[in-house]
Amino acid sequence: MTRVNVTVNGRAREIDVEPAKLLVHAVREDLGLTGTHVGCLTGDCGACTVRIDGATVKSCSVLAVSAEGAQITTVEGLAGPGGLHPVQQAFWDEFGFQCGYCLPGMLLTACELLEDDPDPTDEAITLAVNGNLCRCTGYHAVKRSIRCAADRMREGS
């Protein structure tokens, strides 16, 4: 077992993990944050996406021990005391998900995109979610949700 110190959704956490443990399993099992999902374990589907020091990462492709000292954001860390994050709100209003299994990855990917580029082109939105598979929506409402979130966030700022 190896001790790993991370800050998860703003809270310092200390976990002991096997050196070969994937970050996604540590997040779900040791940190108890089951909003991050396992879809493939081959880095293809994006359901396990989390943010490490701001950058989206497929947490099935990262060892838990390599996250030592990192700031991790999971889907549970998006909503604030004032309610849902504007990206979450837009996905709800615009039907950006159905079953919700790919949703954590879509939300975190959208947040990263809009922080980097508050007014993304349609192509940029498409490119951002190209690494996230969704079998329910056909991506139409996903892209519409991100556009809606971008518009609202710019109006709000």
Partner 1 sequence: MTSIGTSARKADGEVLLTGRGRFVDDHVLPGMRHAAIVRSDRAHARITGVDTSAAERAPGVELVLTGDQAARHTGPIPHFIDPAARGGRRAEVRCLAVGKVVHAGQAVAAVVARTRREAEAAALLVEVGYAPLPHVLDADEALLPDAPRLYEEWPDNVILHNHYGTGDVDAALAGADLVVTETVRIGRTTTAPIEPRGYLASWDRFDESLTVYGSVQNPHQLRWMLARSLDLDETRIRVVTARVGGSFGLKMQGHPEETLICLLSRLTEAPVKWIEDRRECFLSGAREQVHRVTVGATNDGRIVAVRDRIVANAGAVTAQPGWAMPNMSATTLASGYLVPNVEAELHVVATNKPPLNAARGFGKDGAHFVMERIVDLVARGLGADPAHVRRVNLIPAGRFPFRTATGLNIDSGDFPGLLDKALKALEYDTLRARQRELRDRGRYLGIGLAFELTPESADGPGTFVSGFDVTTVRMNMSGGVTVLTGVTSPGGGNDTAIAQIVSDELGVPLGWIQVVQGDTDRCPSGFGNFSGRGMVVGGGSAALAARDVRAKLAVVGARMLGVAPEEAEVTGGVVRVAAEPERSVAVPDVAAAVLTRAFAVASEVEPVLEATRAFKPGNIDHVPDERGRIQPYPTYSNCLHAAVVEVDPETGVTTLADFVMVHDCGVVINPALVEGQAHGAIVMGLGAALTEQLSYDDEGRLLTDRFKSYLLPRAGDLPEVRLEHQVTPSPFTMYGNKGAGEAGVGGAQAAVANAVEDALAPFGVTVTQVPLPAPVVLDLIERATAK
12: helix, strand or coil: strand
User: In angstroms, what is the minimal distance from the CB of 149 to partner 1?
Assistant: 12
Q: Are 146 and 110 in contact (CB under 8 A)?
A: yes
Complex with partner 1: residue 66 or 130, whichever CB lies closer: 130
Which pair of tokens denotes residue 86? 């504007």
Complex with partner 1: residue 4 or 45, whichever CB lies closer: 45
Complex with partner 1: residue 69 or 121, whichever CB lies closer: 121
| Interaction site with partner 1 (CB under 8 A) | 28, 33-42, 44-45, 47, 74-76, 78-79, 84, 88, 91-93, 95, 97-104, 107, 126-127, 129-143
Complex with partner 1: residue 67 or 105, whichever CB lies closer: 105
> Radius of gyration over alpha carbons of the chain, in Å?
15
User: CA 43, CA 64: separation in Å to the nearest integer?
Assistant: 15
User: In angstroms, what is the minimal distance from the CB of 77 to partner 1?
Assistant: 9
User: In angstroms, what is the minimal distance from the CB of 118 to partner 1?
Assistant: 20
Query: Where do the H-state alpha helices sit in 7-139?
Result: 23-25, 86-93, 103-116, 122-128
